Amino acid sequence: MEEASKRALVIGGGIAGIQASLDLADMGIHVDLIEKKPCIGGKMAQLDKTFPTNDCSICILAPKLSECYRNLNITLYSYSEVQKVEGIVGNFSVEILKHARYVKEDLCINCGLCVEKCPMRVEDEFDRQLRKRRAIYMYYLQGVPAIMTIDKKNCLWFTKEACRICEKNCEKEAIDFNQKDELIKINNIGSIIVATGYNLIEDIDNDILKNYGYQKYRNVVTALEFERMLSASGPQEGHIKRISDGEEPKKIAYLQCIGSRTDRGAKYCSSICCMYTTKEAMIAHEHDNELESYIFYIDMRAGGKGFQSFLRRGEAEYDIKYIKSKIAEISIDKNESPIIVYEDLDTSEIKKLKVDIVVLATCIIPPEGIVKLAEVIGFELDDYNFIKTPPFSPVKTSRDGIFTCGCVHEPMDIPRSVAEGSSAAARAAEIIRGG
């Protein structure tokens, strides 16, 4: 048998993919890390804090992002997608489509002058549409690589052949409107790790959120939106405000299992919501220690390390009220304050609760593009389109030499994603080292 080559390919630059890449690189194995978005970091970069330690998410993530960028054993392909995979375990070759940023990566120093001058205002994806960005933009403040990207769909030059103001203002002459998408071929890949993360149910068209007035009532937001609202670098710069009137909330209700554990959406449990909801309530409480929090749940699922104590702390120190009740629907009053009707199980009474903001813990769903990727690489998906893994081979896919980690195969929290990242790295290393 031909000697296995010393390269690994990791698809997806979220925390799972990052951990897999760093472990492999630290083993001396060269890693090609592919990220679809302009910057690596994934969902973790969008979070404000992380449970159960309430560490600042980007603060603990940033060193890892930098490490990925600096490590000589990692070649980072951001804004890129895998197009084709050929070969067999131990020797794959892969074609990558690197999208044109229209910014020369080696010249851009992320000074921000172009952003300042760009006249276009576009919904910001990273901030979950809660803020506008420009047509030339950094994907997020702490993003890696720290390079601007021109969003072709919204750039005046590409849509109307006008403007080019960014070009005129760039002192480094880094803007290049003639840049083309690039096809890159990588050979000698021993093993591939798929870590393309997840989407949320609000990302796709659906009826489930309708009953909760999502996108109809401005003070009904999803958990990830709320996470951005909490974040210091988010659209509200760390001050929680109602979207309808900018008032600071005094009562917030968190609704669990939105679109999960139901025959009317996803049957599975989204795994992380019980915990992050408590975390969000704690952080919100830290913003305002008179704030009241209500968490409506079916089963509190807190099996991880320190999770139960975390819930106890939430109750005792942060005034969180846990109410076992799933909410049927939401209405609003004249001030656009959401009104929740629920049954108080202790008394069997049906109660009305008016709050200032409702936060929906929406269900994790498989990532966009997974069906195509499954075809390209040739692994099987389960009934929901998560990657299928055989019993007791948690990071293995149906195809030899292809591994997976993180939420792309099942909803999971960050520690498990990290462990799986390492785990996938170990399996890939076995193959690359001919074991």
Residues 325-354 that bind another protein (CB under 8 A): 325-329, 331, 341-343, 345-350
Does residue 394 have a cis peptide bond before it, meaning omega lies within 30 degrees of 0? no
Spatial distance between the Cα atoms of 342 and 348, rounded to a whole number of angstroms? 10
- Phi (first) and psi of residue 77, to 5 degrees: -110, 95
* Residue pair 351/341 in contact by the 8 Å Cβ criterion: yes
- Torsion-angle region of 184 (φ positive above 0: left; ψ -120 to 50: alpha; else: beta): beta
- 324 forms part of the interface with another protein (CB under 8 A): yes
The 217-236 contact track toward another protein, x by CB under 8 A, reads: --------------xxx---
| Residue with smaller CB distance to another protein, 73 or 129 | 73
Residues 18-37 that bind another protein (CB under 8 A): 19, 23, 26-28
Least CB distance to another protein at residue 52 (A): 7
Check binding of 73 to another protein (CB under 8 A).
Answer: no
75 phi/psi in degrees, rounded to 5: -105, 120
CA distance 208 to 213: 10
Match 């692994």 to its residue by tokens: 379
* 248 part of the interface to another protein, by CB under 8 A: no
Give me the least distance between CB of 84 and another protein, in Å please. Answer: 28
Helix (H, G, I), strand (E, B) or coil at 313: helix
Report yes or no: 104 and 116 within 8 Å, Cβ to Cβ. no
Count of residues touching another protein (by CB under 8 A): 107
Q: Binding to another protein by residue 247, rule CB under 8 A?
A: no
Is 306 near another protein (CB under 8 A)? yes
| CA dihedral sign, ordered 203, 57, 96, 387 | negative
Stretch that binds another protein, among 93-101, 113-121, 192-200, 265-273 (CB under 8 A): 265-273
Nearer Cβ to another protein (223/257): 257
Using CB under 8 A as the binding rule, whether residue 317 contacts another protein is answered as: no
How long is the chain?
A: 435
Q: Is 237 in the site for another protein (CB under 8 A)?
A: yes
- The residues in 147-206 that bind another protein, with binding defined as CB under 8 A, are none
| CB within 8 Å of 422: residues ≥ 6 apart | 19, 20, 23
Among 298, 368, 376, 398, binds another protein (CB under 8 A): 298
Is 116 an interacting residue with respect to another protein (CB under 8 A)? no
* The two three-digit tokens of residue 167, written as one number: 């070009």
295 lies in the site for another protein, by CB under 8 A: no
Site for another protein in 377-406 (CB under 8 A): 382, 384, 386, 391-395
Minimum gap (Å) between residue 348 Cβ and another protein: 4
